[in-house]
Amino acid sequence: MSGKLATRLREGTKQSHSLAENADFIQCFLKGVVERTSYRQLLGNFHFVYSALEDQLTQHQNHPLLSQLYFPALYRQQSLATDLSYYWGPQWQTSITPSSATQHYIDRINEVAIADPILLVAHSYTRYLGDLSGGQLLKKLAQRGMNLSQGQGTAFYEFEDIQNPKTFKVTYRQSLDNLLLDESTITHIVDEANLAFKLNMELFKEVEGNLIQAIGQMIFSHLTRSRRNGQSQWSTDLGETTALQPQD
Ligand code: HEM
């Protein structure tokens, strides 16, 4: 198999994307059921994940390849701190601890940062391109689902230093394509991105318990039972236009 990294990642994680999108927690989210306890728990976990990722990306900013993907404008640590303060209060840092799936995720980030730092590309790709793509849709759903006032509790979806996420994604993909990589490294990065999707799904699975407790097993089963064919909501072919257009 050949091809540039951006396309290889897109094609090579299509199935994982579809599975992640179909995770029960995400399905409830997409149906407008966003529950505060599970949501703030997820944001707390994201804080640890993004801190690990962004610390490692910063440490490797002079790496010959990773330097080409050094985009602090993507960093979410600050926006997560703003949201965590909103959901947990000013003492949020003493209120949250990494869950076991979170610990697993950050261990993996730190492990590849030492053993094979180029694999950090996979972790950066999986989170940030996802955030840039789904952000506006998820923001609206969070606002409606939790009855949030404008500008409260949704900093995570705001990229203040990125004027146009669509254009930025083009730049990001070009930077991926410009990396001079051999076939074996490309394969490893795609494999790592698939693992990153899996690690995300473990995070979603963990917070599901709180969601079920809040909305009840019956409603949860109802919301999650009608789509078990594993199909992607945004497209079975990433080129197609669908009803869900998060960034538009
Ligand atoms: C909430 C459900 C989701 C929806 C509706 C959704 C929707 C989308 C859409 C429409 C795109 C295409 C954007 C474009 O072509 O420019 C996209 C891309 C992407 N999404 Fe998602 N997504 C969801 C969940 C996720 C999750 C949970 C992750 C990872 C944890 C993720 C990671 C990505 C990545 C990495 C891309 C970039 C694909 C590429 O062009 O290479 N998404 N998503």
Whole-number Å distance between alpha carbons of 76 and 46:
9
Q: Which 3 state secondary structure label does DSSP give 233?
A: coil
**How far, CA to CA in Å, does 58 sit from each of 52, 120, 167?**
10, 11, 23
Residue nearest to atom 2 of ligand 1 (CA): 21
Is 233 contained in some domain? no
Is 158 contained in some domain? yes
- What is the helix (H) or strand (E) element at residue 166, kind and residue range? helix 165-178
The per-residue b/e assignment along 212-229, b for 16 or more CB within 10 angstroms, e otherwise, is beebeeeebeebbeeeee
Is 79 contained in some domain? yes
Q: Letter for the amino acid at 214?
A: A
CA–centroid distance, 117 to ligand 1, in Å, is 24
**How far, CA to CA in Å, does 3 sit from each of 7, 176, 183, 201?**
7, 12, 9, 27
**How far, CA to CA in Å, does 193 sit from each of 58, 78, 215?**
19, 24, 32
Is 39 contained in some domain? yes
Is 125 contained in some domain? yes
pLDDT of residue 102: 98
Find the CATH number of the domain harbouring 158. 1.20.910.10
pLDDT of residue 237: 37
pLDDT tens for 221-241 read 889 886 654 456 554 334 333
Q: Which residues line ligand 1 (CB under 6 A)?
A: 9-10, 17, 20-21, 26, 30, 125-126, 129-130, 133-134, 169, 197, 200, 233-234, 244, 246
Is 245 contained in some domain? no
Which residues in the chain show pLDDT less than 50? 229-230, 235-248
Whole-number Å distance between alpha carbons of 67 and 63:
5
CA–centroid distance, 231 to ligand 1, in Å, is 14
- What is the helix (H) or strand (E) element at residue 95, kind and residue range? helix 92-95
pLDDT of residue 44: 98
Is 247 contained in some domain? no
The per-residue b/e assignment along 107-134, b for 16 or more CB within 10 angstroms, e otherwise, is ebbeebbeeebbbbbbbbbbbbbbbbbb
| Number of structural domains the chain divides into | 1
Is 240 contained in some domain? no
pLDDT of residue 38: 94
**How far, CA to CA in Å, does 7 sit from each of 99, 147, 190?**
33, 38, 10
Note every long-range contact of 114-120, with CB atoms under 8 Å and residues 24 or more positions apart, other chains counting: 116/188, 117/56, 117/60, 117/63, 117/66, 118/63, 118/65, 118/66, 118/181, 118/185, 118/188, 118/189, 119/188, 119/189, 119/192, 120/53, 120/56, 120/57, 120/60, 120/66
Tell me the residue range of the domain where 160 lies.
5-225
Local structure of residue 64 (DSSP, 8 states) = T
pLDDT of residue 173: 98
